[in-house]
Structure 1
């Protein structure tokens, strides 16, 4: 039987996406549901199972040889558990065990969503040909991953490069991770909204209270909305500069829903990077938007899965 496809899951605080991914990284049979907000762990798992069940109804499911999962973190690839900061119902939750009850005996690989994203961009996106790269997923949370010496780095537990939880503001807000002043407390979508609301911004009568609504207001010249995105971009730039000093990256690829704001986010990010990347070997880091887009997590989860299978004895 041909098993040329990998089932992939991309799990975040806003959505749970799934697809079948072929060896070229092409996405087939895409499925997606909202992540249940503030729901118990088993409810969130049921949403994951729903996506997998829909994929299994596709006629190509018989060609699936493994499952790759890219999840908001932190994750623990060794124990198969997850505890995403932005999914409150999952704390040391046995995700791999729960998923195996749906997919049976398929091999399952778990990595952080940022690791998956940068693996995809390195294989077929904005970081192709780069030996050292940082990927950042700026959405409900802020995740990240690294490519070092030409290879995606997952680390012992699948969390390497989780840059959203480095401190960029010593006296900043407390983060749900337990830290203070993390990048995520400034640059995530909910953090941008909180900042704008606290300074007087209000969504229009037909708008939801989202980062996308703040971005639209900024596009109309709302100074409070512009400041919220400027602050987020500056925090991201400081984080990229820190990564460049630590591991000499050549490029930072930025994806996720918040990155769809374009230059509203990227302009202050690049300006901040120029300010903070003062060492000779940190100059010249390129900042690029994701080339693969919203499918990067799925493509990367599948790529991580294939890489692990190749390493098995």
Structure 2
């Protein structure tokens, strides 16, 4: 049931080959129907290199997976990628991978020789995490949910009426880029005052430093969290500000689509109560309508493997034709 489990025994049924592509790593695994990772591979993302070099690293991960004894049980490939993505064309334009702009990722991955006659499915990384938490994690049993990844950025995905909601292009639920502060600082996306500029781990660190926090060694969100647990005022204020912004975004989403649970994962969620206590407190303030009284926010359960598990969940469930490519390029 949990994505952080692993096993070496033969699968009881079909397997999915899953890829999780981000700005620092390209992870791969063979995933069974219970969300168990049976075989792994990983490469560093050559994020500043050419498009071909990046694709080469992805193909290396696929080759490493295909070299194992379980490859014959693989029936499809699921990819969770940093975005934005475009499901209608199978392309990606990750903010933190400059060489990939409108890059035809699905078609390019599908041409790996080991993927002959296997479908390749694409999803945004936060949508993949959402699928994992809905099937195997903290959103299990909920028909309407919001799942968030709060790390160097803020990503999110929606479950509506029991199904993961991709949207027209695969970017639905992009909570990190709703404006919380109309006159706030510029966001790399081009807008101002985006939630990501306030609630991300990067923003927490930046705000703590602006308030006078003195980092012991490394200045990052984990260090700010340690300072907050020690009672340092600047660190506590930075987490409170981030939690307030995130609570406002969650409450707005709940008012729009009537979710009853928000699941929060990512590096910032590992901060524990210094993050979740103010988040729950501010959520009670912003989720004021009577139909939002049962709204809860809880930690994610699946950890860093959620993207792989979710990509497998989505590929296993089947996808709209426009998001799938076979090795011969036929859609």
Q: TM-score, normalised by structure 1?
A: 0.91
Q: Which has the larger radius of gyration?
A: 2
Structure 1 residue ranges without an equivalent (≥5): none
CA positional deviation for 1:84: 2.4
Q: 1:105-158 CA deviation, whole Å, 9 max, x = no partner? A: 321111111211121111121111111111101122211111111111112221
Q: 1:200-234 CA deviation, whole Å, 9 max, x = no partner? A: 334324xx332222222222233222222221111
Q: 1:75-118 CA deviation, whole Å, 9 max, x = no partner? A: 11111111223434432222223322335432111111121112
Q: Are residues 1:194 and 2:194 paired?
A: no
Helix, strand or coil at the partner of 2:182: coil
Q: Are residues 1:125 and 2:153 paired?
A: no
Helix, strand or coil at the partner of 2:70: helix
Where do 1:126-275 residues align within 5 Å? 126-205=138-217, 208-275=218-285
CA distance in 2 between partners of 1:91 and 1:191 (Å):
26
CA positional deviation for 1:7: 0.7
CA positional deviation for 1:267: 1.3
CA distance in 2 between partners of 1:209 and 1:282 (Å):
37
**2:315 counterpart (282, 305, 312):** 305
Residue matched to 2:122: 110
Q: Mark the CA change 1:209 to 1:77 in structure 2 (over 3 Å): closer, same or farther.
A: same
Residue matched to 2:6: none
RMSD between aligned residues: 2.3
**Residues 86, 140 of structure 1: 8 Å contact kept:** no
CA distance in 2 between partners of 1:192 and 1:164 (Å):
14
Q: TM-score, normalised by structure 2?
A: 0.86
Misfit runs of 4+, over 6 Å: 310-313
